[in-house]
Amino acid sequence: MPASTAPNDTRLPRAVRMHSSRLDERYGSKGKSPNPADPSGPAETPPTGAANPSASTPPVDLPPAEPASPTIADLQKQVSELEQKNRSLGGRLNAQAEERRTERAGFQQKLTELQEQIRNLQTKQPPAEIDLSAHFTAEEIEVLGKTQCTAMIATARRIAQENIDAAVEAAVKPLREKQAATEQSAADSDDERYFAELLALVPDWDAINKSDGWLEWLEQVDEGTGIQLQKILNNHHTLRNAKQVAKVFKRYLKEAAPAPSVPTPVPPVAARSNGAQPNGDPPPNAQVPGRLAPPTPKEIQEFHRRSAVKRPGQQGYVTDMERVEFEARMKLLYQR
């Protein structure tokens, strides 16, 4: 008896074959998508067991993706955006501060106008009626008349008020002058201390203050605050803050001050045929102009102190001739 050959196809479970047959009958071989509105077909049931292997497979937890590290270009972009926001915020704050100052000035002006109106109304009020019986008898009033008596009392009151005002002014004027002198002396002392401290920090601040480059540099706007450098300097100068003013001068010297020019050295005279001395000095019969020596640091400090503190007519005031001579000596100092 010949051996039976096993079929080559694999037998599927009956439930799977029945489900496959129903799908073929319903949708055919065209691969159309099922229509949920068609109630004719049997309700689909999800396959179980071997028909849905993914149901028994537990989900795999993937590690979270690491964020990409920022590049240098991204960081520079963020820095630029922050700087722009800072400048914009500073500009808005400065504009708001200027608006508040303008409002305050307007309120002060309005208050002054109202006070002036009150004074005008008080002066325009009719004077109180004078009680003639307190100063004259009935017979005197009848003889002189009410008009004459009123005029006499008004004149007497005016003269008495003038005498009172004069006496008060005579008593208050010395006190007022003394107070003004004290305040002026304190202001002069503060100015002298301020300029002395500034001179110690920046010895040549007076020469820098008169240079064109300094004035042009002050027209720029500070990037950090959005305020003009001239306004920053004026604020520190008004407060007599020598350290902050010195910082502005030093910042100018660091950023925009021109470097001193170095002149070409002149070699000494080597030949002696024209009468020159062995050490290079000019011949004895040559015309030598008046020699100027470079100033010492102490002389520089004293010159700038007197320029800042002394006023015309005071002892030690720097004259124009002395200033020209000092500038010539300063040029010799830079030519060393």
Residues 121-134: tens digit of each pLDDT? 777 666 667 777 77
Same domain, yes or no: 80 and 90: yes
Domain contains 239: no
pLDDT > 70: percent of the chain: 72
Q: What's the structural domain count of the chain?
A: 2
Return the closest-CA partner of residue 332 out of 286, 271, 289: 289
- The token pair at 36 is 């949920």
The alpha-helical segments, DSSP class H, found in 125-241 are 138-144, 146-201, 205-209, 212-218, 229-238
Q: How many residues does the chain have?
A: 336
Whether 47 contacts 23, CB under 8 Å? no
In whole angstroms, give the CA distance from residue 165 to residue 20: 125
pLDDT for the residue 336: 57
Domain contains 3: no
Domain contains 146: yes
Whether 226 contacts 87, CB under 8 Å? yes
Q: Is it the case that residue 119 has pLDDT exceeding 70?
A: yes
Return the closest-CA partner of residue 22 out of 5, 10, 34: 34
Per-residue DSSP letter, 76: H
Domain contains 172: yes
pLDDT > 90: percent of the chain: 5
Domain contains 160: yes
Domain contains 35: no
Average pLDDT for 130-141: 80
Same domain, yes or no: 85 and 111: yes
Average pLDDT for 210-220: 87
Phi, psi for residue 228 in degrees, rounded to 5 = -65, 140
Same domain, yes or no: 82 and 117: yes
Same domain, yes or no: 109 and 133: no
Q: What's the domain range around 90?
A: 73-125
Domain contains 83: yes
pLDDT for the residue 335: 65
pLDDT single digits (tens) 272-298: 444 444 444 544 444 344 577 888 888
Domain contains 153: yes
In whole angstroms, give the CA distance from residue 220 to residue 88: 17
pLDDT single digits (tens) 313-325: 777 888 888 888 8
The vertex-55 CA angle with 52 and 60, nearest 5°, equals 130
Same domain, yes or no: 77 and 118: yes
DSSP 147-165: HHHHHHHHHHHHHHHHHHH
Whether 311 contacts 304, CB under 8 Å? no
Q: Is it the case that residue 331 has pLDDT exceeding 70?
A: yes
pTM exceeding the 0.85 threshold for the entire prediction: no
pLDDT single digits (tens) 164-203: 888 888 888 888 887 777 777 777 778 888 888 888 888 8
Cβ neighbours for 312, distance < 8 A, ≥ 6 positions apart: none
Average pLDDT for 137-144: 83
